[in-house]
Amino acid sequence: MPAESRANIHGGLRILAQGLSSNLNGLAEPLTPAQLAAVHPYWATDVTLLAPWRLEQGLVWLPDSQPLGLQGVDIVVCGPCASTMDVARELVAQGRLGAFGSVIAPAQTGGRGQLRRTWLSAPGNVLATLVLPPAEGLWNDLRPLVLGHLLAEALEGVCEGVCVKWPNDLLVNERKIGGILVEERPGCVLAGLGLNLGWAPREEDLRPGHCVAAGSFRLPPGVSGALGLWRMLVNRLETGYVTLLETFSPSDFLTIFQSRLAWKGRRVLVCEGAGVRYEATIRGVSGKGELVLDCDGKEILFLAGDVTPL
C-alpha cells in the first residue's frame, strides 16, 4: 500500500477496548487487535498494516502513530454487537462521534434492513453505521437515494456496474450486494450500511418471497481489507455528500440519479403488502423521490413495498 494511503487510513481510528466498551451499556464487546485479526483474513490484513498498536488508558487501541484525542473520532471499530446503529447512537449521545464519524464491527447479531427485516451477514463483510449531518427540506427525504447514488459511485472502482434498487439497495448483475437503512434518532441521523464483501446469503437462507438474489464482490488489488475499503468509502461519501448538497438542487440530483436506477423501463411485479400485487413498468423517480410506475397507462407514485423484475 502506498505511504499516503497508509497514512490516510490511520486518521481518527479507534478499536474499543474494555474501558470504553464498558461505557456502552453492553451494546458491544471489547476488542483487541489480535482478536480482530482472527475474525477474517480481510481484518488480519488491516490490523497488520496499521501495526504497531498501543493501548491508551485502558480505553482504546490506537495505531502507534496516531494521537489520542477521543473527541470527534472518525472511525470506531467495536467488537461483536447487536447493531452498529445502536453503538453509533450511544457514542453520539456521549459526544464521542460527530458528523461523518462511523462505527464498524466485524460481526453483528441484530442487523436490520428495510421494513425491519433481518440483515444476514458474515465475518469479513462490511457492517457499519455513518453519522450524517442535518439536512433541510426535501434533502431530508431524499437521503436514502443520495447515499445509494454516492455509494454506487464510490464502489465503481471496486466492482463495475453498480445500480440502485429503489430506494436503498445496491445491485451488481441484478444481485443485491449491499443495503442502506437511514434512521432519524434524537439529535442525529444514522445510515446503516451492509456490504457483502466475499460472502452472500444462500438462496434458502433468504426470506420467502425475497425480491432479488444476494451477491457479493471481492476486494481489488490495492485495497487492504474491510477497514481499508470502509475508510475509502467514508472519505468519498463525505466529500460527495457535502458537494452534492452545496452544488445541486434536489431536482438536479434526481435527474442525475435516474442513470443509477435499477430496471428503469422494465416490467416489474409490484408488491405493496397485504396481498396487493400488480405488474407495472418503472418510469423513473418523481420530484419528491417516489418511484414512478406505469400500470397500463396509469401513473402510480410508489411509496413503500417491493418491486421484482419480470
Domains and CATH numbers, the chain: 3-259 (3.30.930.10), 263-309 (2.30.30.100)
The predicted structure's pLDDT at residue 72: 47
C-alpha cell of 227? 477497514
The predicted structure's pLDDT at residue 208: 54
The model carries a pTM of: 0.90
In the chain, which stretches have pLDDT less than 50? 1-11, 70-72, 115
The predicted structure's pLDDT at residue 274: 73
The predicted structure's pLDDT at residue 134: 86
